Chains A and B, each alone.
Chain A
Amino acid sequence: MRFLDLLTMSVNNLRRRKLRTALTVLGVIIGVASVVIMVSLGIGLNQLMLEMYSSYGDMTTVTIYSGSRFDSGSSDSDPMYLTDDVVEQFKRLDHVRGVSPMLSVYVMLKQGLYETTTEITGVSQEYLENIPLGQGEIPQRGDPMKLIYGNCVIQWFRNSKTGDGYWDTQELPAVDFMNKPMFVIFDMDAYYQSQGGGESGVKPPKKYMIEAAGVVEGSVDDYNNYAYSVYTEIEGLKAQLKQIFKKRPIPNQPTNKKGKPYPYFIYNSAVVFVDDMENVTEVQKAITDMGYQANSQMEWIEQSQQTYDMIQLVLGGIGAISLFVAAIGIANTMMMSIYERTKEIGVIKVLGCDMANIRNMFLMESGFIGFMGGVIGLAISFAVSYAMNNFLGLGQAMMGIEGDISRIPLWLAGSAVVFAIFVGMAAGFFPSLRAMKLSPLAAIRNE
């Protein structure tokens, strides 16, 4: 028997009992919709959490601190400094895409009346390229030292005459990073000594004019990972520092046991870029095993993820119960239908309809009930999901950040329909076997 003929017969049989078919389909609709909505909530919560963490910082990075930076001499072994050699070692680890050392220097920024003390962090070119800029451009490799300002840095500036800043006046200082020159004082010791009444005989240190390369994207009030920092390319920074301090020790760089500075730079921290979120934990462990202190967002995410997996399981389970009830409904409908059609099944058997065809006809009927329930249930799920996301603001209420609480990805939509068909066919399986085995003699009997 041709597939199309079989399908036509099945659909005709369903159309014959419209109300009963509709009620059975309704059961599946409720089942499918509850499963899809519950799972979509689970997915939504999980992704909201990930979004929340990623707003705190990149999730594929591991940050390494050189823990023993300032207590040299307390032990005999060499302290675990983060040097270029160590950075090279990190680069050779599996799954590591790149490593950026981070070197912080404490400086004063001056523009006109306004000034502030802050840290400039030297990072690799690669790191710079990950910073989303609102204005300007990432400096090219080999450019002279340029600064990238966080979008909130402007808040730190104070009027040097009145001493008032943004926090006192609620007015943004008239600082323009991009268009006016910024002066940077690197030698803060000398600066403070020269400020001390002018009697100490120390000359005020030299100010360097350093160009801005760009400002991080976002308004003054938007927090992000880069908002309060000033970045520059690390090689440029190192060159600048060497030029300024010459043979003198560079402030904040540790010294050896004799009090002499090391001939190389020692970094405050380093950031390791991992190729995939899933490998972050592995890389972090490798670095910890090397003796360094390492942190990543993954530690927190993994814990939360377990919680949310649990929530998703519970939600999905609740939905699955109603789908199970719907499956019982389908089985019941099919049984009733077979009792009613005993004679008809007998007739088509006498007329030579293959037993497998009879079974398939009933399987298709129940599968079709599942399919209709699946499609309509999915449509309802999308509607409910849309309503939850746009009118209830649950995301804000539950997680504290903006975002959709209910998300139906394509795989969920697709598998919901497929699963509904499967449930329908599974529920119709035993009834269809029963139909197949009905005796053709039923057709001969005359009632």
Chain B
Amino acid sequence: MGVVRYSHDETGSTAVRYREGTGLSERKEEQGAVCSPLKERVPIIQVKNLYKIYKVGETKVYALGGVDFTMYRGEFCAIVGPSGSGKSTLLNMLAGLEKPSRGEIVIDKIHIEKMKENELVAFRRARVGFIFQSYNLLKTLNAVENVALPLSFRGMPRRKRNEIARKYLKLVGLEKQMNHMANAMSGGQQQRVGIARALAVNPRIIFADEPTGNLDSKTTMEILKLMRRIVREQNQTLVMVTHDNHLASYADRQFHIVDGKIFKIEECRHDEEEEIK
């Protein structure tokens, strides 16, 4: 695999990122910032005192009532909570799909809470991958075109982006289904395409909203392990929302959220790497 280089600069940051192979080795970023030894934790998402208040008639409903946390580079985080706890609202705000009522969200050193909508779109295009519960592939496109779609938003020429798309489809184990139309595939296959689509843009962060919600338990495990393996290999941050404690236990850290507040943060070390592979 060759050197993939991109220098899309939509958010105004001067970062130019090189990637070598599927590599763990990642040279980076701002001049002067030296990436020091292996396990140093670089914050990538910082949330401070975050509120989201909906007005229902006269009464105020606190979807989020003051949330603070930090997520680090290369981490697999799960946001866990029962339905109505505000976990999806939190994810939406981290991805810039909803505006917070109060508080700060700093992603990759950029404040996103005050951005305008088109700035947020550019921000997502440059830094974020998204995996949906209902896959949300475009029905008119085949697997390769679906994966290449976000790259086309960056203005990448067709041949180059299809090449990248094929590479990621191979990575998620869909060599044989590359030219299948989206709705001619099983749920598990569609979600694999969805993952490949999120990965293809080589994002810093991948958000996944109940990615296995529509899958059976066997496929769920496969998908989950696949996601974990890939983000590990590529040193990306994965933020997954789920209501299932068992699924959340696959994450490095679990953020339990109840009634719009962080209830507890659980850390679990996964040493049994064999199981993952």
Binding site for B on A (CB under 8 A): 1-2, 4-5, 12-13, 16, 343-344, 347-357, 439-441, 443-444, 446-447
> Considering only CB atoms, which chain A residue lies closest to B135 in the complex?
A347
Identify whether the interface residues of A are mostly helix, strand, loop, or mixed: helix
Contacts of B140 in A (CB 8 A): 12-13, 16
Q: Would B97 and A5 count as touching, CB distance under 8 A?
A: no
Interface string of B140-178 (1 = CB under 8 A from A): 110000000110111101100000000000000000000
Using A12-B140, A348-B149 as known contacts, say yes or no to A353 and B98 having CB atoms under 8 A apart. Answer: no
CA distance A13 to B149 in the complex (A): 15
**From residue A414, how far is it (CB to closest CB) to chain B in Å?**
32
In chain B between 182 and 208, which residues have their CB closer than 8 angstroms to a CB of chain A? 197, 201
Check B153–A350 contact: CB distance below 8 A.
no
Indicate which residue in B97, B141, B201, B213 contacts A441 across the interface (CB closer than 8 Å). Answer: B97
- Asked if B152 contacts A1 (CB within 8 A), the reply is yes
Q: A343-B136, A348-B149, A351-B125 are in contact. List 16 more A-B contacts (CB 8 A).
A: A1-B155, A2-B155, A4-B158, A5-B152, A16-B140, A351-B153, A352-B128, A353-B121, A353-B125, A354-B122, A354-B153, A355-B121, A440-B97, A446-B134, A446-B210, A447-B134
CA–CA, A37 to B132, complex, Å?
53
Q: List 28 A-B contacts (CB under 8 A).
A: A1-B153, A1-B155, A2-B152, A2-B155, A12-B140, A343-B136, A347-B132, A348-B149, A349-B121, A350-B97, A350-B124, A350-B130, A351-B124, A351-B125, A351-B149, A351-B150, A352-B124, A352-B126, A352-B150, A352-B153, A353-B153, A355-B118, A355-B121, A357-B153, A441-B97, A443-B132, A444-B97, A446-B134
CB-nearest residue of chain B relative to A5?
Answer: B152
Distance in angstroms between the alpha carbons of A353 and B197 in the assembled complex: 14
Q: Mark B84-127, 1 if CB is under 8 A from A, else 0.
A: 00001000100101100000000000000000011001101110
- B120, closest chain A residue (CB): A440
> Is B219's CB within 8 Å of the partner chain A?
no
Task: Report the separation of the CA atoms of residues A440 and B128 in the bound assembly, to the nearest whole angstrom.
Answer: 14
- Interfacial chain A residues near B153, Cβ < 8 Å: 1, 348, 351-354, 357
Q: How many residues of B contact A (CB 8 A)?
A: 34
Q: Are A344 and B138 in contact (CB under 8 A)?
A: yes
A447 to B201, CA, bound (A): 27
B contact residues around A440 at 8 Å (CB): 97
Taking the closest CB of chain A, its distance from the CB of B149, in whole angstroms, is 6
User: In whole angstroms, what is the CA distance A350 to B157 when docked?
Assistant: 21
| B98, B121, B138, B141: residue with the most chain A Cβ atoms closer than 10 Å | B121
Q: Which residues of A contact B133 (CB under 8 A)?
A: 446
Q: Cβ of A352 and Cβ of B98 under 8 Å apart?
A: no
A17 to chain B, nearest CB (A): 11
Residue B75 CB within 8 A of the other chain? no
Q: Which residues in A have their C-beta under 8 angstroms from that of B154?
A: 1, 352
Q: Are A444 and B132 in contact (CB under 8 A)?
A: yes
CB proximity of A2 to chain B, nearest CB, Å = 5
CB distance from A144 to the nearest CB of B (A): 81
